[in-house]
Structure 1
Amino acid sequence: MIKNQAAPAGPPGDSSAFAADLLRGHTDTIVLGALRGGDRYGFEIYKAIRLATGGDHEIKEATLYATYRRLEKDGLVESYWGDETQGGRRKYYRITDAGRAVFQGNVAAWITTRRIIDALLDVKDTTP
């Protein structure tokens, strides 16, 4: 199980540490992807990421909130306060047109990178 959490590096060749580092480099794209289907509040994005991976990947809340601030500063997401009638107010995030463009560009770059790495490692695509 891959958890995106600060943990001591495993032994050389530890694939879970490598995978976590690789995923960590795509946090912005992961968050933008989670917002493509509609506005979400911060913890809802955390849960969506965890659910989408069957619990194999989670991003620390502190990392996510730093990501939200950076994405908002860069104009890739906008935030607003929800109007909850019960419980605390929630800050919602929505992807902007610029965020959609960055997401699409990052996905295209990921597909190209994956194709190149697969070719270099002589890995055959096993996706249906």
Structure 2
Amino acid sequence: MHIDKDLVAASATPIVLGILAEGDLYGYAILKRVSELSGGGLQWTDGMLYPLLHRLERLGHVSSSWGTSEAGRRRKHYAITPSGRATLAERQEQWTVVADALRQVWQSGQRPPLTAEGWA
């Protein structure tokens, strides 16, 4: 399934902050987690994730530190900050309102169609 890029962009910040709220991760692990959470429906690339992580770091929502993997490779690990947690809570509230509105619209599909005079 193709997911519109506007929807991906709108959901990227709360998804990444939510993932980091579970624990510190490096970039590739974040990409894998996004794919897992979406059942493979979201396949982000490095070119999408790293600019987002850098922006979140500039905004103070994420911090980073260098570490070494079990294989000896250096990896940059990302962690959510208190500011990031506050932003995540705010985005969760916003998305709840949006999701509730969408649910109501989709459930109202049983309603007769809207005409120029009102509901048929």
| Greater strand proportion | 2
- Which of the pair has more CA radius of gyration? 2
RMSD: 1.7
What is the one-letter code of the residue matched to 1:44? A
1:123 alignment partner, one of 107, 110, 113: 107
| Greater helix proportion | 2
**How many corresponding residue pairs?**
108
Unmatched runs of 5 consecutive residues or more in structure 2 = 109-120
In the alignment, is residue 60 of structure 1 matched against residue 45 of structure 2? yes
Cα-to-partner distance string for 1:75-125 (whole Å, 9 max, x where unaligned)? 000000013363420000000011011011101100111222333x2427x
Describe the SS at the equivalent of 2:64: strand
2:28 alignment partner, one of 28, 31, 43: 43
Runs (4+) off by over 4 Å: none
Unmatched runs of 5 consecutive residues or more in structure 1 = 3-15
1:113 alignment partner, one of 88, 98, 115: 98
Describe the SS at the equivalent of 2:107: coil
How far apart in 2 are the matches of 1:80 and 1:37?
Answer: 17
Describe the SS at the equivalent of 1:82: strand
Per-residue deviation, 1:34: 0.8
How far apart in 1 are the matches of 2:103 and 2:18?
Answer: 23
Q: What is the identity percentage for the equivalent residue pairs of Structure 1 and Structure 2?
A: 34
Q: TM-score, normalised by structure 1?
A: 0.76
